[in-house]
Structure 1
Amino acid sequence: MPQDTPPLLGLGFTWQQLAVGQRFRSFGRTVTEHDLMGFVALTGMQEPLFVDATQAGALGARPVPGALTHALIEGLLLQGMCHGTGLALLETHIRPLAPVRVGDTIRAEVEVTAIRPTSTGGRAVVASAVRVLNQRDEPVMDYDVTRLLRGEDTP
């Protein structure tokens, strides 16, 4: 990069900027009716529990799919943690803990749990533990995620 080019805003971390045990938190995001309806339309999850507001099953009124909760949190994390530096999502293990409903505000706490540089390409496999909390600071989901991140000298 030429010396007179200012740094790019919003760039995520390279693997060298991370350390095992390092922790982060995301901004919050309120789940809306529009989020729920758009997600079920896009994915085909036309389950009455999700599309019929009069349904109140075992999870109570207006729950959202766990996959939507995961997708919203991943969007928040990508913006701050690996935007432009993430090369691949390699693995994720999701554990829903409590329902998320339309109107809930969710956020994440992240801890880097492992960093393993690859043998080629200046990249590393980075593992993190993610805890998703609602507006009452109640855990609603935990997941472990493994990503491939670029290094400082990797294009």
Structure 2
Amino acid sequence: MIVEQYFEDYEVGFERRTFGRTITESDIIIHAGQTGDHFPHHMDAEWCATQDFGQRIAHGTLVFSVGIGMTASTINPRAMSYGYDRLRFIRPVFINDTITVTARIAEKRDHPKRAGHGILVEAIEVTNQRQETVMVCEHLYLVERRTAAAAA
């Protein structure tokens, strides 16, 4: 879906939530192959059984990639991803855990060098099926303004 929104159209506090997505063993194997991360935490069920977490865990980068992808439900030609801040993996995600993502507009601010754009900060929280937070980050968007901001 295409939705054109300018910086001025966004409101702090607006929140959206995704449907769930179950992380599978195949997801972990494919991600390991794509990234080269074959550490035993992800690939060795026998070794993991001897550790505190007791079973294989999904790569943090897999949870991040899938979680952010789950929020990409619309295309806004007036905005683009500007990066990510404060990324933290809070709890492990296991095979067959189902993750859901909440994205909330946490902040709007001027861009320090581009008067025709603003920065939108979206607080991302990924939870598992038990409503436990497994990952958080801030997704920054560069968003076109209808009217350029006044010089400071």
TM value normalised by structure 1: 0.79
- Structure-2 change in CA distance of 1:117 and 1:76 (3 Å): same
3-state SS of paired residue (2:67): helix
Q: Which of 33, 46, 58 is the matching residue for 1:54?
A: 46
Structure 2 runs not aligned, ≥5 long: 148-152
TM value normalised by structure 2: 0.80
CA distance in 2, matches of 1:59, 1:20: 37
Q: Quick check: 42-51 or 89-98, which moved more?
A: 89-98
Which residue of the partner structure matches residue 79 of structure 1?
73
- Structure-2 change in CA distance of 1:138 and 1:17 (3 Å): same
Does structure 1 retain, via aligned residues, the 8 Å contact 2:63–2:93?
yes
Q: How far did residue 89 of structure 1 move?
A: 2.7
Question: RMSD value over aligned CA atoms?
Answer: 2.3
Map residues 3-152 of structure 1 onto 2, 5 A cutoff: 9-11=1-3, 13-56=5-48, 57-80=51-74, 82=75, 84-118=77-111, 120=114, 122-151=116-145
Which residue of the partner structure matches residue 150 of structure 2?
none
Q: Percent sequence identity over matched residues?
A: 26
Q: Quick check: 139-148 or 129-138, which moved more?
A: 139-148
Does structure 2 retain, via aligned residues, the 8 Å contact 1:90–1:147?
yes
Does structure 2 retain, via aligned residues, the 8 Å contact 1:91–1:147?
no
Deviation digits for residues 86-123 of structure 1, max 9, x if unmatched? 42333322111111011011011121111124464743
Does structure 2 retain, via aligned residues, the 8 Å contact 1:11–1:83?
yes
- Structure-2 change in CA distance of 1:114 and 1:99 (3 Å): same
